[in-house]
Amino acid sequence: MRFHTEKRGIRVLGIAESFKKTSACSTLAGIVMRRDLIIDGMAFGNVTIEGNDSTQNILSMYRSLKRDDINCIMLDGLIISMYNIIDGKELRERTNVPVIAITFKDSKGLEGTIQHHFSNDSKLKLEQYHKLGQRDRILLKTGKLLFVRCWGISSKEASMVVNCFTLQGSVPEPIRIAKLAARASMRSR
């Protein structure tokens, strides 16, 4: 499927989380947002803190929406819930929808942190982390820098999509609203 960034009616599924380090699970929220910034759907899910279930649970959220008009999945990072690593390539392959994962800070990598945190069982986590690949730097129309990893879409196209959904600062609206929804859902429990 070809992704047309210039299309007026594109819809993005923005996914973000909220959790407490003392909890066993993290709350995920997914917001379907149209290019005109109208919210057009919502889904919730949970992932295990320090687990390996993030990709499968995001796929479940996507399927629960029962929609064929989502043009892109936008993730608030790939390493969530204390190193529960999302496989962006698998999300792309299983949904046939382009995936953009956004991070807001530059870093030298997490190998040392993962080895320290999972001292007895870091091999799987390190393999998952290395599969993520390199990030590309993009400059937003707001003057802010972001770092993205993409599957099924070029970095240039990803930059266009992220810019379409960013009103101010560096956080695209589908991610910002998903963060708010995840936080509210977590607090209500």
pLDDT digits (tens, 9 = 90+) for 27-45: 999 999 999 999 999 999 9
Average pLDDT over residues 20-27: 90
**Cα(101)–Cα(70) distance, integer angstroms:** 16
* Summary count for the chain: helices (H), strands (E): 6, 9
φ and ψ of 37, to 5 deg: 70, 20
- Predicted confidence at residue 6, as pLDDT, reads 62
Average pLDDT over residues 161-176: 96
Average pLDDT over residues 96-118: 84
Cβ-based neighbours of 103, under 8 Å, separated by 6 or more: 77, 78, 135, 146, 147, 148
* 116 pLDDT above the threshold of 70: no
DSSP per position, 24-63: SEEEEEEEEEETTS-EEEEEEEEEETT-S-HHHHHHHHHH
**Cα(100)–Cα(148) distance, integer angstroms:** 7
Share the mean pLDDT of the chain: 91
Domain boundaries, the chain: 11-184
Name which of 117, 134, 136 is nearest 125 in CA terms: 117
Query: Which pLDDT tens digit goes with each residue over 63-89?
Result: 999 999 999 999 999 999 998 999 999
* 159 pLDDT above the threshold of 80: yes
**Cα(160)–Cα(3) distance, integer angstroms:** 12
**Cα(106)–Cα(138) distance, integer angstroms:** 12
pLDDT band at 126; cut points 50, 70, 90 = confident
CATH superfamily of this structure's domain 11-184: archaeoglobus fulgidus dsm 4304 superfamily (3.30.2170.10)
pLDDT band at 114; cut points 50, 70, 90 = confident
- Predicted confidence at residue 115, as pLDDT, reads 75
